[in-house]
Amino acid sequence: FPVAVLVEICVFFLHEICTHDDEKMLYGHFREDFMWSSASASYQIEGGWRADGKGLSIWDKFAHSPSKILNDDNGDIACDSYNKIEEDVAILKQLKVSHYRFSLSWSRVLPDGTINNINEAGIKYYQRLLDALHAANIQPQVTLYHWDLPQAIEDYGGFLNENFIKLFRDYADLMFDRLGDKVKIWITFNEPIMTANHGYGFGSFAPGISSGPDTLPYIVGHNLIKAHAEAWHLYNDKYRAKQNGIISITVNSDWSEPRNPYRQEDYDAARRVVEFYLGWFAHPIFNGDYSEIMKKRIRDRSLAAGLPQSRLPEFTPEEIKRIKGTHDFFGLNHYTSVLAFPVDHGDAQISDRTWLDTGSSWLKIAPFGIRRLLNFIKNEYGNPPIVITENGVSERGTVDLNDVHRIYYYDQYINEVLKAYLLDGVDVRGYTAWSLMDNLEWTAGFSERFGLFYVNRTDPNLPRVPKSSVNFYTKMVKCNGFPDPESGHDVLDDVTGPELLLPSALNLTVINML
């Protein structure tokens, strides 16, 4: 063989050996005060869409528009959590989690989105939930906004109107004042990129606007970042000293690998994918402004399209100063990874055909990605404290409470988080399993199920039924990681049944497919 071919063969096998070693399980534990959590979102679980004075949200309107959601499902009742505080806290206790992440419905507490009309019944609902959580020794992680904007605000332009910034600050002020004595962890916005791109770009999520897909998402994102900064400063200046809590934002991101690891162009594309996904919101908040990669890419494409300036708005020097550093931790949602490569119109993303499928077309099982993304955050943003605020996997079709694929997913992904923590020195403070129960999965309706608990929708009482993954996750929480089996106490002790065998079988399947 020519020398060049032999070198390429050696590099290939070295890569395979390293990858194989990377995939070995690591035994060890997370920090003693590690936050184990599960999560939900108001529109997906609460129901009570017109109960006790609640106003309409953009998802109420969107879900009642024909053909917007699969099977015309909606969140009118959802999981009826508005009437099932005791049941929800009971299943959290069953999980043994130390924390519970949930979101507030803005239109439940402020029906028209403004503090001119405060709905005390809505506030009392959240006060009762907080009291029940504290009685169970479960700490709340409260998200102010998880996609369900009051329709009254959207009627005046929503996120495209700069007045939104003040309205969000007023809403946050009321929540800090009325609930903050029982909340130590706040999140301003959940996955702002989804609001910007899917709500005001593709139009696939509420409010369903697609009239300016190349421009509107950047305006929305710009206002979201400024609104987040105002809420952070408000809490920092007015409430932190007496409430002693922390506040940040949750961003979501896939990890991106080059489709061809031997092409620099693919590496560059993979970097851009992460910069446009994670960095869109993280870079201004942690580093002060949009990344140069993002600014140059949008500016060049805007000018090439004949526009006089970039479609990406600019922050003023004062705004940069106001925004930079508005974080107490890095909130991260992560589910899957992609392979990237450049094409004429941008950067394309595909999945590796060897990655296992799930109940969602966009979600493939690629555990290595979460460790690499955690290391990216560490290196790019100065090793901030990271709270993984969502991670999980879906199923669809016939209900099977023996959800072995979810056990495999959690086992592999959480172990990659442990590697990032113990081997790489990433400052991971918590992990949150999405989701607590099967719920309305946005435009997929009830067809895709992410829950640890199955919600039986054929029963009007909507009982929460534990899947096999509940037992697994409970043991993970109890052991705070992965004890060495040779120590005589395996993390999977007392978990019985075929789920103990299938993860290994799945792993063998992946290896054979390679």
Residue 510 lies inside a defined structural domain of this protein:
no
Q: What pLDDT does 496 receive?
A: 38
Tell me how far apart the alpha carbons of residues 24 and 474 are, in angstroms, rounded to a whole number.
23
Q: By mean pLDDT, which of 192-206, 334-348, 481-495 is the weakest?
A: 481-495
% of the chain at pLDDT higher than 70: 91
247 forms beta bridges with: 186
Rounded to whole angstroms, what are the CA distances from 438 to 61, 133, 231, 454, 506?
Answer: 22, 20, 31, 6, 24
**Start-end of H helices in 68-180:** 85-95, 106-109, 120-135, 151-154, 163-179
Residue 326 lies inside a defined structural domain of this protein:
yes
Residues 6+ apart with CB under 8 A from 491: 475, 476, 479, 481, 482, 483
137: left (phi over 0), alpha (psi -120 to 50) or beta: left
Q: Inform me whether the pLDDT recorded for 16 exceeds 70.
A: no
**Start-end of H helices in 180-278:** 192-194, 200, 216-234, 240-243, 264-277
For residue 119 the two structure tokens come to 């709905």
Q: Which of the pair, 354 or 512, is modelled with greater confidence?
A: 354
Q: What pLDDT does 489 receive?
A: 58
Contact criterion met (CB below 8 Å) for 147 and 190: yes
**162: number of Cβ within 10 Å:** 13
Looking at every residue in the chain, the average pLDDT score rounds to 92
**Start-end of H helices in 343-386:** 368-381
Contact criterion met (CB below 8 Å) for 448 and 396: yes
Residue 490 lies inside a defined structural domain of this protein:
no
Q: What pLDDT does 505 receive?
A: 33
Q: Which domain holds residue 192?
A: 3-482
CATH number at residue 142: 3.20.20.80
What values do phi and psi take at 301, rounded to 5?
-75, -30
Residues 6+ apart with CB under 8 A from 478: 96
Residue 502 lies inside a defined structural domain of this protein:
no
Q: Inform me whether the pLDDT recorded for 490 exceeds 90.
A: no
Residue 512 lies inside a defined structural domain of this protein:
no
Q: Inform me whether the pLDDT recorded for 70 exceeds 80.
A: yes
Mean pLDDT (whole number) for 109-115 = 98
Q: Inform me whether the pLDDT recorded for 310 exceeds 80.
A: yes
Mean pLDDT (whole number) for 50-64 = 98
Q: Inform me whether the pLDDT recorded for 386 exceeds 80.
A: yes
Q: Report the catalytic residues.
A: 390
Q: What pLDDT does 337 receive?
A: 98
Domain count across the chain: 1
Q: Inform me whether the pLDDT recorded for 111 exceeds 90.
A: yes
Q: How confident is the model at residue 344 (pLDDT cuts 50, 70, 90)?
A: confident
Q: What pLDDT does 21 receive?
A: 56
Q: By mean pLDDT, which of 337-351, 393-407, 456-470 is the weakest?
A: 337-351
Residue 176 lies inside a defined structural domain of this protein:
yes
- Report the predicted TM-score, pTM, of the whole model to 2 decimal places: 0.92
| pLDDT 10s digits, 345-384 | 789 999 999 999 999 999 999 999 999 999 999 999 999 9
| pLDDT 10s digits, 159-211 | 999 999 999 999 999 999 999 999 999 999 999 999 999 999 999 999 999 99
Mean pLDDT (whole number) for 301-327 = 97
Q: How confident is the model at residue 494 (pLDDT cuts 50, 70, 90)?
A: very low
Mean pLDDT (whole number) for 219-242 = 98
Q: What pLDDT does 23 receive?
A: 76
Nearest-Å Rg of the Cα atoms of the chain is 23
Residue 489 lies inside a defined structural domain of this protein:
no
Residue 171 lies inside a defined structural domain of this protein:
yes
Q: What pLDDT does 504 receive?
A: 35
Q: Inform me whether the pLDDT recorded for 8 exceeds 60.
A: no
Residue of 254, 210, 264 whose CA lies nearest to 362: 254
Mean pLDDT (whole number) for 332-356 = 95
